[in-house]
A and B are shown apart, each in its own frame.
Chain A
Amino acid sequence: MSERAPDKPGMSIPSGRKMPREDRLKPPDWAGGRSAAPNDGGFRTIGKRNRKLEGLAKVTGRAVYADDLTLPRMLHGKLLRSIHAHARIVSIDASHALALPGVHAVITGRDLPSYFGIIPWTEDEQALCEDKARYVGDAIAAVAADSELIAEQALRAIRVEYDVLPAVHDIDTALAHPEWQVNEKASEGNLSKHVLLEFGAVDADLEASDVVVEAEYWYEGSTHAPIETHCALADYDPTGFLTLWSSTQVAHYLHRDLAKVLELPTQRIRVIQPTVGGAFGGKSEPFSLEFCAAKLSMVTGRPVKILHTREEVFYAHRGRHPMRLVYRTGMRRDGMLTATSAKIHIDGGAYSSFGLVTTYYSGQLLTAPYRLPAYRFDSTRVFTNKPCCGPKRGHGSVQPRFAFECQLDKLAEQVGLDPIEVRRRNFIGEHTRTVNGMRVTSNGFLQCLDAVEAASGWRDKFRRQPYGRGIGVAGSMYISGTNYCIYPNEMPQSAVQLKLDRSGRATVFCGISDIGQGADSMLALIVAEELGVDLRDIRVVAADTDLTPVDLGSYSSRETFMCGNACLDAARKLRETITGTLADRWGVPRGEVVLAGGQAVWTRDPAQHAMSIQSAFQAAESAHGTLGSVGWYQSPKLGGDYRGGTIGASPAYSFTAHVAEVACDEETGFVKVERLWVAHDCGRALNPVTVEGQMEGSAYMGFAEALFEEQTYKPAAVGHAFGLHHGPSLLDYRIPTSLDTPEMSSHIIESVDPEGPYGAKEAGEGPLHPSVPAIANAIHDALGIRCDRLPFHPPQVRALLKATDARAAWERARTSQRGVRAGAGGC
């Protein structure tokens, strides 16, 4: 699919020029900067171990999810899905379905012909396939009925005539058979996106390296498997107004695409995100069920709800892309990296989703925390007849990170250096720029390495444990939001409206999408810190397009950083109003008025001047009228001076290091991860409990991909064609249970970023990345085998043990390490 760069000055910058002048919206500068506490004497709420706002409602069953909602006269919708991986739709006969009592409507692709897609340049999906189904499970019709059971019966009564086409089941077939075109919107054959970028003299530097390691890696696909399946409830009223409740993480983009596909004015659509039961990237674009619920409601004049079954979540997918990655990496004898060359093939499934970005991310996000002097990546995403892949926690960069951190481990072994030491020597530093032009601000990666090295007892364990036990390390970086909206525009990426009430209450209105990570709570913490309001007296009204200003949604780890900054500005504006009012009234300098702990006081003599926050709000309202403020965030202009140089550019990067310890059963191939140590530089932890929760959740998710989870499909065989999901259920898609998950310790590193709210950076995705390579490297330390293919199932580990002289490799690794230790001792 061709990329059409928007025709705007500044988007295609001649190389060699300096970054363009900052001419975008610029948030206010605050004395002391964004990272400082509002009052002297440090933070009062920020950094404390507070509960999440919504935690109690969730654990007591009071939280309202989309499927908890029912409306009078509500119908139930269901989607008819293709039973073929690739087939032309010759005809659809719904007459028998419509004749069933209790069936109210059937719609097909012809009713919703507009193409949509999360990336404006690759709109290649229809709500219901009009001409062709592209994977087993692709939606081709929808029904509305009195009950789910009747809707199911109606689906079985719909007659579809298919013309079955050859199916493309993997990367190589996609490339070898361009004539079996999966997606007609592709520019050629089955090519979804190709990116080739080179920085520095890669080939020459590889040539000049003391050691070069080349290996092929396979990262198996996996899916998000949130506890809550997708659900949408649509209500189109007689005035022509559509309300849609949906378990989405991008209400704003959904709003836009609903307008497009349903051909309704944007201002006559309201999208509401109720409590969401997990998403992990699996709800970050519009899905068939949202359009179909809306259309069925328009057709029937009644509210329509569609709830995905667990099986349908596996078909909606948008999970981690399978990737084949070939890396050549060079190193000098002293452990310094020289050059890296990557050739990557990405299995995209049937549609584009975020694939354009995925393809860039597969290369762009590798260039820290180590300095890569020369770097090339050549990434190709292809279409196949499988459910569409998309963004899963750590979008696009988890796979290359796995490969590269394994490369580092192999190189360290070859030059005889401790792998932690190799990572230290190549540290890129802070306030610097990567080889591909990304601006790096704060960087606590060295402290991360120190923390996991010390906590794990690394020095006593690495290469020192008996056969079968091992320890491994890996590092990573990740973005705190991207610097552009998905569709080009000059408006803010996040916004907050803040209302103060004379009751003493504060209400934050924001499009922010809390999907369980605690985003809403971050806004409350900021307001509490700035205005001294008790956390219980702050309400966050979020992700309702009628009530809240736009935020782009919960993706690319942007919410705390961007909405947080918007909220910080809104709260600081009101803080100045209030402290100014009191300073005037008390006749003291405004810098001496503090709002904290539910009180407004004069710091010099609280006994003389103090009042409750409620009275302070009333004083300010009396002086200035109704109290409200806005704040917004727009990132500075960032990125490299080349086509695609803005993809991967972020106002701040987080950094992570993991150490994993494993115990392996040589006889069966079972790998037990006994312990994970995770250190993450999140800038500043606004709430350490939430940060630890994100670190643990991320590390567990990575661990699960390493050892258990895989979204795979049954191969063709006698009696059945290709394309069936291996087992679309939580019995066959094996997520580790609480008994399988390791003990974990989290170490928060606070580098305090100059641009984050109070110095905060992301914590929700970065800590996933090193999980997989740390475990792979630990398995090598334990068994002497290199697990270059995911997942590290017992059968695969056994096969590697049988195929290689693992014991000899294990011995060799030890000798290499001992040699270095002896050498070092002699210095």
Chain B
Amino acid sequence: MLTVPAFTWSRPTSVEAVLAEIAGTSRDDVLLVAGGTDAVPNLKHRLHEPRRIVHLAGVRELRETREDEHGLHLGALVRLSQIAGDARIQRDYPAVARAASLVASPQIRNMGTIGGNLCLDTRCTYYNQTFFWREALGFCLKKSGTRCHVVTQGKRCVAAHSSDVAPVLIALGAQVEIANAAARRTIAVEDFFVGDGVHNNVLESGDLVTRILLPAASRGRRMAYQKLRPRAAIDFPMLSVAVAGSLDADGAIEALTVVVGALGARPRTVGQLDAIVRGQAPGEPVWEAVAQAAHKQCRPLTNVPYDPDWRHDMVPVFVRRALRDAFARPA
């Protein structure tokens, strides 16, 4: 079978201990492992070749959840199956529960965590392969090489953001807490991601994602998540659409956010929707206009399997479905 490379390993039991251990290390030297469902295959494929693995499973603080006036705080190690099955999340943030329930398979959701899903390494059909395969291909610029096999003249990696949960978190205005040995800071999940497939988030060496906040203001908003995948389980998204919105007292659309994932390195928030939707009555004519706007702004690539033209055609289809889903549901 495929082997894992040699590394040293630790299992600290507090956030402080983790931070102390990773402070001053370089990003390539240390791999933080939560559920390990993505990290282990990546190790076997030699996508990660860390000297040291810090296993977070023993950090109790990272498993905690609490609710206050700001909203629902989810520790980074809360398992995806727990989120999918939590009655409060199903009620207040149904799209979050839905997205978590659509990750991979029951076994993987039992191990995989929300923090891990947020930090999921970007994926590409030319990257998520064995060492042998990538050597035969010619290493790419995400790992060990200089060439992009998706955008042949490209100088920037376009490996696809493939987290199911992140687009929903962005649509809901969720925040993420990041800690390092010096301080803790909180930023919007939308600002967590950057458009570089090699490393698509703002985490620096020494940083640890500790907490995710589902804001109180988004509780009970109209929301939905739609995932395009060939099989009814296992597959990463080939396209994902998260929507969140609200209606005013008259039943007209007050606000709407549409986030599309599995395109490039970061989820794309569909722009300039306000002019299309604000004050309009929810329904097919508006959904169609939103769908067409998304179609214009989203451009699938060959980084993800299946014909990109077909996936492009599916953008408006899945946007419409997500909108219908979100607004059919009673507030």
Residues of A within 8 A of B (CB): 81, 83-84, 136, 147-149, 152, 229, 307, 309-311, 667-669, 708, 714, 717-720, 723-729, 731-732, 734, 736-740, 793-795, 798-799
Q: Which of B2, B135, B310 contacts A794 (CB 8 A)?
A: B310
Min CB gap B325→A, angstroms: 15
B317 touches A732 (CB 8 A): no
- Residues 1-40 of B, flagged 1 when their CB comes within 8 A of A and 0 if not, give 1110110000000000000000000000000000000000
Q: Which of A136, A740, A798 contacts B313 (CB 8 A)?
A: A798
Among all A-B residue pairs, the 3 with the closest Cβ atoms = A795-B310, A739-B232, A83-B136
A669 touches B310 (CB 8 A): yes
- Residues 142-156 of B, flagged 1 when their CB comes within 8 A of A and 0 if not, give 000001110010000
Contacts A84-B136, A793-B306: A148 and B3 contacting too (C-beta < 8 A)? yes
Q: Which residue of A lies closest to B236 (CB)?
A: A731
B6 touches A149 (CB 8 A): yes
Q: List 8 A-B contacts (CB under 8 A).
A: A83-B132, A83-B135, A148-B1, A311-B130, A724-B137, A727-B305, A728-B133, A739-B231
| Interfacial chain B residues near A708, Cβ < 8 Å | 230-231
A737 touches B310 (CB 8 A): no
B306 touches A719 (CB 8 A): no
- Residues 66-100 of B, flagged 1 when their CB comes within 8 A of A and 0 if not, give 00000000000000000000000000000000000
B129 CB within 8 Å of chain A: yes
| Interfacial chain B residues near A83, Cβ < 8 Å | 132, 135-136
17 new A-B contacts, CB < 8 A, other than A81-B132, A148-B3, A795-B306, are: A83-B132, A84-B136, A311-B2, A668-B228, A708-B230, A714-B137, A717-B149, A719-B148, A719-B149, A720-B138, A726-B305, A727-B125, A731-B128, A731-B234, A737-B231, A794-B310, A798-B310
B307 touches A795 (CB 8 A): yes
| Interfacial chain A residues near B331, Cβ < 8 Å | none
B314 CB within 8 Å of chain A: yes
Min CB gap B162→A, angstroms: 12
Min CB gap A80→B, angstroms: 9
B231 touches A740 (CB 8 A): yes
Which B240-262 residues have C-beta < 8 A from chain A? none
Min CB gap A739→B, angstroms: 4
B281 CB within 8 Å of chain A: no
Min CB gap B255→A, angstroms: 27
A-B contact count (CB 8 A): 90
A737 touches B234 (CB 8 A): yes
| Interfacial chain A residues near B149, Cβ < 8 Å | 717, 719-720
| Interfacial chain B residues near A152, Cβ < 8 Å | 3
Chain B, interface residues (CB within 8 Å), range: 35 or more
Q: Which residue of A lies closest to B321 (CB)?
A: A667
A739 touches B233 (CB 8 A): yes
B235 CB within 8 Å of chain A: yes
Contacts A149-B3, A309-B2, A668-B314: A720 and B137 contacting too (C-beta < 8 A)? yes
Contacts A83-B136, A732-B305, A793-B306: A668 and B230 contacting too (C-beta < 8 A)? no
- In whole angstroms, how far apart are the Cα atoms of A717 and B230 in the complex? 25
Q: Which residue of A lies closest to B305 (CB)?
A: A732
Min CB gap A703→B, angstroms: 13
- In whole angstroms, how far apart are the Cα atoms of A307 and B2 in the complex? 10
- In whole angstroms, how far apart are the Cα atoms of A728 and B6 in the complex? 24
Q: Which residue of B lies closest to A136 (CB)?
A: B136
- Residues 204-234 of B, flagged 1 when their CB comes within 8 A of A and 0 if not, give 0000000000000000000000001011111
| Interfacial chain B residues near A738, Cβ < 8 Å | 233
Q: Which residue of A lies closest to B316 (CB)?
A: A667
Q: Which residue of A lies closest to B310 (CB)?
A: A795
| Interfacial chain B residues near A310, Cβ < 8 Å | 1-2
A732 touches B125 (CB 8 A): yes
Contacts A719-B138, A724-B137: A734 and B235 contacting too (C-beta < 8 A)? yes
- In whole angstroms, how far apart are the Cα atoms of A313 and B110 in the complex? 29
Q: Which residue of B lies closest to A80 (CB)?
A: B132
Secondary structure type dominating chain A contacts: loop
- In whole angstroms, how far apart are the Cα atoms of A740 and B231 in the complex? 6
A736 touches B231 (CB 8 A): yes
In this complex, which of B3, B136, B147 has the most chain A Cβ atoms within 10 angstroms of its Cβ? B136
B132 touches A311 (CB 8 A): yes
- In whole angstroms, how far apart are the Cα atoms of A739 and B147 in the complex? 38
Min CB gap A664→B, angstroms: 14
- In whole angstroms, how far apart are the Cα atoms of A794 and B310 in the complex? 8
B230 touches A734 (CB 8 A): yes
| Interfacial chain B residues near A668, Cβ < 8 Å | 228, 314, 317
| Interfacial chain A residues near B6, Cβ < 8 Å | 149
Q: Which residue of B lies closest to A665 (CB)?
A: B317
| Interfacial chain B residues near A229, Cβ < 8 Å | 1
- In whole angstroms, how far apart are the Cα atoms of A719 and B148 in the complex? 8
| Interfacial chain B residues near A732, Cβ < 8 Å | 125, 305
A725 touches B2 (CB 8 A): no
| Interfacial chain B residues near A739, Cβ < 8 Å | 231-233
Q: Which residue of A lies closest to B318 (CB)?
A: A668
Min CB gap A801→B, angstroms: 11
| Interfacial chain A residues near B136, Cβ < 8 Å | 83-84, 136, 723-724
| Interfacial chain B residues near A793, Cβ < 8 Å | 230, 306
| Interfacial chain B residues near A726, Cβ < 8 Å | 125, 305
Q: Which of A148, A794, A798 contacts B230 (CB 8 A)?
A: A794
Q: Which residue of B lies closest to A231 (CB)?
A: B1
- In whole angstroms, how far apart are the Cα atoms of A719 and B151 in the complex? 10
A740 touches B232 (CB 8 A): yes
- In whole angstroms, how far apart are the Cα atoms of A321 and B138 in the complex? 28
- In whole angstroms, how far apart are the Cα atoms of A228 and B313 in the complex? 39
Q: Which residue of A lies closest to B317 (CB)?
A: A667
- In whole angstroms, how far apart are the Cα atoms of A393 and B136 in the complex? 31
| Interfacial chain A residues near B132, Cβ < 8 Å | 81, 83, 311
Min CB gap B282→A, angstroms: 20
- In whole angstroms, how far apart are the Cα atoms of A608 and B307 in the complex? 78
In this complex, which of B125, B130, B133, B314 has the most chain A Cβ atoms within 10 angstroms of its Cβ? B133
- In whole angstroms, how far apart are the Cα atoms of A307 and B152 in the complex? 36
Min CB gap A69→B, angstroms: 15
A724 touches B314 (CB 8 A): no
- In whole angstroms, how far apart are the Cα atoms of A232 and B273 in the complex? 61
Min CB gap B5→A, angstroms: 8
B1 touches A309 (CB 8 A): yes
- In whole angstroms, how far apart are the Cα atoms of A731 and B136 in the complex? 20
| Interfacial chain A residues near B233, Cβ < 8 Å | 737-740
In this complex, which of A668, A669, A723 has the most chain B Cβ atoms within 10 angstroms of its Cβ? A668
| Interfacial chain B residues near A669, Cβ < 8 Å | 310
| Interfacial chain B residues near A728, Cβ < 8 Å | 129-130, 133
| Interfacial chain B residues near A731, Cβ < 8 Å | 128, 234-235
- In whole angstroms, how far apart are the Cα atoms of A668 and B227 in the complex? 12
| Interfacial chain A residues near B231, Cβ < 8 Å | 708, 734, 736-737, 739-740
- In whole angstroms, how far apart are the Cα atoms of A603 and B311 in the complex? 73
Which B297-317 residues have C-beta < 8 A from chain A? 305-307, 309-310, 313-314, 317
Q: Which residue of B lies closest to A798 (CB)?
A: B310
- In whole angstroms, how far apart are the Cα atoms of A152 and B44 in the complex? 12
| Interfacial chain A residues near B230, Cβ < 8 Å | 708, 734, 793-794
| Interfacial chain B residues near A667, Cβ < 8 Å | 317
- In whole angstroms, how far apart are the Cα atoms of A799 and B314 in the complex? 12
Q: Which of A84, A724, A740 contacts B133 (CB 8 A)?
A: A724
Min CB gap B322→A, angstroms: 14
| Interfacial chain B residues near A794, Cβ < 8 Å | 230, 306, 310
Q: Which residue of A lies closest to B233 (CB)?
A: A737
- In whole angstroms, how far apart are the Cα atoms of A491 and B304 in the complex? 54
- In whole angstroms, how far apart are the Cα atoms of A732 and B5 in the complex? 23
- In whole angstroms, how far apart are the Cα atoms of A357 and B61 in the complex? 64
Which B44-60 residues have C-beta < 8 A from chain A? none
- In whole angstroms, how far apart are the Cα atoms of A752 and B246 in the complex? 69
Q: Which of B1, B138, B232, B309 contacts A307 (CB 8 A)?
A: B1
A737 touches B125 (CB 8 A): no
Min CB gap B330→A, angstroms: 26
| Interfacial chain B residues near A309, Cβ < 8 Å | 1-2, 130
Q: Which residue of B lies closest to A714 (CB)?
A: B137
